[in-house]
């Protein structure tokens, strides 16, 4: 899937990549030369690599490595840099990784036996040796073989010679393998094809819009689809990718202003922190917020500050977005994530059949963005059925097709024979002016089977300052919820435990509440 070679043929001198750390930049022509060098390094160190495990924070080295692996026809397996040796080795074995590639700042545990290739920080565009004739370190051109015919030409009208490997003409080829967050069990290895990624990029462009001058900031982990997607999409669109080595509210706010960023992907906690530091979010064209539900109060705050917030619902299994609301839709329907994207079909299913509008059930997704399956066939067989991919999320659609996500099916609390959606209780808790955030889970209960339990974050982020107490939380719930939905166990914390992708770590929430 050598998207970059196609792009450099069309707009070689347009800015492709900016490093937010030191403002270095690369044109598509310069980036193409970096990718040639990275591809040659991979071939020298690990010939015949089928699956490349990547251990990177966002940065130019990862961008070059990702495109190099695609150029060589390899599958990229995104791995979490925080994994210990045993967990990393398990992921490597499950994904069939042939070699690991890491940046100079990443330490690979010595217990991992897979060969490791360390990619150095790339030189700035003007300092790339041999970039004018597109040569690698060996001095020999990297062979290319782009399928496609007459539309793959440069401005002179001469055909481009290109790279063997999967591309949009080979949509069934597995381009990447990504692991889910694993908040409800063992992380699943998701296969995404070239066709999945291409369809997702097209659908996202139709919803958000794309202009040649767009600049998208990548500050999310690149082993998750939210961080990886911009690397591919900007190359497809011919826009600019600005990379930052992890999120920090002050530095990220500065990068937005310093580099003319027009779009960014965030999780709700990051959006809140950027608003707290006065980041220039209103100057952007799109702020895509996903990875976890966006609290209504946070949404109201962002919209009041003229932030073009786009609440989105997506999964690794769908190559990112499923449904995304535009700011006007978010203002009028704050509990919704909007209509499904172009080509994506959403069906709400209960007892094996689609339900009527307004009825809740499991969200099932079909279309060209949906994974062909997981690393193991058993998991695939359990997840994909007649109506598409069973997401495990509970939702409801209104008469206009807007989707509201109520929570995970396996997170629903069955207490005394009554079913409680944690999301509904969370929204009630968040409606109190002294509550910033909350997480709700079920805990075992001898009398009722399960009881509703809540972990609550005070608005000022300090559980001990006395502005909010458990009694106040209980009283608020008594006024707003029927008895069976009210939390029986409540604890205050400074912050909610979350995964790297921004999802609430529910097992950590349960552990904290058990101790309460």
Q: How far apart are CA 475 and CA 508, in angstroms?
A: 26
Least confident of 39-53, 132-146, 347-361: 132-146
Q: How far apart are CA 336 and CA 473, in angstroms?
A: 26
Would you kindly state where each structural domain of the chain is located, as residue ranges? Answer: 3-246, 269-408, 412-515
Query: Beta-strand (E) ranges in 320-434?
Result: 320-324, 345-350, 353-354, 361-366, 373-374, 384-385, 388-397, 403-408, 413-415, 418-420
Mean pLDDT, range 459-472, rounded to an integer:
79
Total residues belonging to the chain: 516
Give the pLDDT score at 141: 33
Query: 281-309 b/e with 16+ CB inside 10 Å = b?
Result: beebbbbbbbbbbbbebbbebbbeeebbb
Q: Who wins on pLDDT, 423 or 147?
A: 423
Say what the pLDDT of residue 149 is. 28
User: Three-state secondary structure along 167-236?
Assistant: CCCCCCCEEEEEECCCCCCCCCEEEEEHHHHHHHHHHHHHHHCCCCCCEEEECCCCCCHHHHHHHHHHHH
| pLDDT more than 70, % of the chain | 88
Mean pLDDT across the chain: 87
pLDDT attached to residue 137: 32
Does residue 168 have a pLDDT over 70? no
* Three-class SS state of 264: strand
pLDDT, tens digit, for every residue of 235-275? Answer: 999 999 999 999 999 999 999 999 999 999 999 989 999 99
CATH number among 3.40.190.10, 3.30.300.30, 3.40.50.740, 3.90.76.10, domain 412-515: 3.30.300.30
CATH of domain 269-408: 3.40.50.12780
Residue-wise pLDDT for 319-348, tens only, equals: 999 999 999 999 999 999 999 999 999 999
Of 107-116, 204-213, 372-381, 481-490, give the lowest mean pLDDT range. Answer: 107-116
pLDDT of 185 > 70? The answer is no
Helix axes 296-304, 268-276, angle to 10 degrees: 40
In this structure, which CATH number among 3.50.50.60, 3.40.980.10, 3.40.50.12780, 3.40.440.10 belongs to the domain 3-246?
Answer: 3.40.50.12780
Q: Is the pLDDT of residue 46 over 90?
A: no
pLDDT score recorded for residue 125: 66
Question: Is the pLDDT score of 146 beyond 60?
Answer: no
At 92-118, the pLDDT tens digits run: 999 999 999 998 878 888 778 888 888
* pLDDT higher than 50, residue 156: no
CB atoms within 10 A of CB 80: 19
* Choice between 263 and 153, residue whose per-residue pLDDT is larger: 263
pLDDT attached to residue 109: 82
**pLDDT confidence of residue 323:** 98
Written as six digits, the tokens of 70 are 């695609």
**Least trusted range by pLDDT, from 1-5, 201-205, 301-305:** 1-5
Range among 72-86, 125-139, 209-223, 462-476 with highest mean pLDDT value: 209-223
pLDDT at residue 173 tops 90: no
Lowest mean pLDDT among 47-51, 200-204, 281-285, 393-397: 47-51
* 3-246 matches 412-515 in fold: no
Taking CB atoms within 8 Å and a gap of at least 24, the contacts of 183-188 are 183/499, 183/503, 183/504, 183/505, 183/506, 183/507, 184/392, 184/408, 184/410, 184/411, 184/506, 187/91, 188/374, 188/375, 188/379
Query: Which range (130-144, 310-324, 395-409, 500-514) has the least confidence?
Result: 130-144
d(CA 470, CA 468): 7
Q: In the predicted model, is pLDDT for residue 159 greater than 80?
A: no
Give the pLDDT of residue 280.
97
Whole-model pTM: value is: 0.80
pLDDT digits (tens, 9 = 90+) for 331-390: 999 999 999 999 999 999 999 999 999 999 999 999 999 999 999 988 999 999 999 999
Residues 259 and 35: beta-carbon distance below 8 Å: no
Q: Higher model confidence: residue 412 or residue 395?
A: 395
């Amino acid at each position: 899937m050598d998207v970059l070679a196609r792009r450099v043929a069309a707009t070689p001198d347009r800015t492709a990549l900016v490093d937010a750390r030191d403002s270095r930049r690369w044109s598509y022509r310069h980036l193409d030369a970096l990718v040639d060098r990275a591809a040659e390094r991979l071939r020298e160190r690990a010939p015949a690599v089928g699956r490349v495990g990547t251990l990177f924070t966002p940065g130019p080295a990862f961008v070059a490595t990702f495109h190099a692996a695609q150029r060589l026809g390899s599958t990229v397996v995104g791995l979490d840099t925080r994994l210990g040796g045993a967990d990393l080795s398990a992921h490597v074995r499950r994904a069939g990784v042939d070699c690991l590639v890491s940046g100079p700042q990443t330490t690979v545990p010595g217990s991992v036996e897979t060969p490791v290739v360390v990619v150095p920080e790339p030189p700035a565009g003007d300092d790339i040796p041999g970039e004018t004739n597109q040569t690698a370190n060996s001095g020999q051109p990297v062979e290319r073989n782009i399928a496609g015919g007459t539309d793959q030409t440069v401005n002179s009208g001469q055909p481009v010679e290109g790279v063997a490997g999967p591309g949009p003409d080979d949509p069934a080829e597995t381009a990447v393998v990504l692991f889910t967050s694993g908040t409800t069990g063992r992380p699943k290895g998701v296969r995404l094809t070239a066709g999945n990624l291409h369809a997702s990029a097209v659908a996202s462009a139709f919803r958000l819009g794309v202009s040649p001058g767009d600049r998208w900031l990548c500050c999310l982990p690149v082993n998750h689809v939210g961080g990886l997607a911009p690397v591919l999409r900007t190359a497809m669109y011919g826009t600019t990718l600005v990379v930052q080595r992890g999120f920090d509210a002050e530095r990220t706010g500065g990068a937005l202003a310093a580099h003319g960023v027009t779009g960014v992907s965030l999780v709700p906690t990051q959006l809140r922190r950027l608003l707290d530091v006065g980041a220039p979010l209103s100057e952007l064209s799109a702020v895509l917020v996903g990875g976890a539900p966006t609290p209504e109060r946070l949404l109201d705050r962002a919209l009041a500050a003229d932030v073009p917030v786009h609440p989105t619902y997506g999964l690794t299994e769908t190559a990112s977005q499923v449904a995304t609301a535009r700011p006007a839709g978010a203002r009028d329907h704050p509990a919704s994530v909007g209509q499904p994207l172009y080509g994506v079909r959403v069906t709400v299913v209960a007892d094996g059949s689609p339900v009527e509008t307004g009825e809740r059930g499991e969200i099932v997704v079909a279309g060209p963005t949906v994974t062909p399956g997981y690393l193991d066939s058993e998991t695939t067989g359990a997840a994909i059925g007649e109506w598409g991919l069973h997401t495990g999320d509970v939702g409801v659609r209104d008469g206009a097709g807007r989707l509201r996500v109520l929570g995970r099916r396996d997170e629903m609390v069955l207490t005394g024979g009554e079913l409680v959606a944690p999301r509904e209780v969370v929204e009630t808790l968040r409606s109190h002016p002294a509550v910033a955030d909350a997480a709700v889970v079920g805990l075992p209960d001898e009398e009722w089977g399960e009881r509703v339990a809540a972990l609550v974050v005070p608005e000022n982020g300090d559980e001990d300052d006395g502005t909010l107490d458990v009694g106040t939380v209980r009283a608020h719930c008594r006024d707003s919820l029927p008895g069976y939905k009210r939390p029986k166990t409540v604890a205050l914390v400074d912050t909610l435990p979350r995964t790297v992708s921004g999802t609430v770590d529910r097992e950590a929430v349960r552990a904290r509440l058990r101790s309460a």
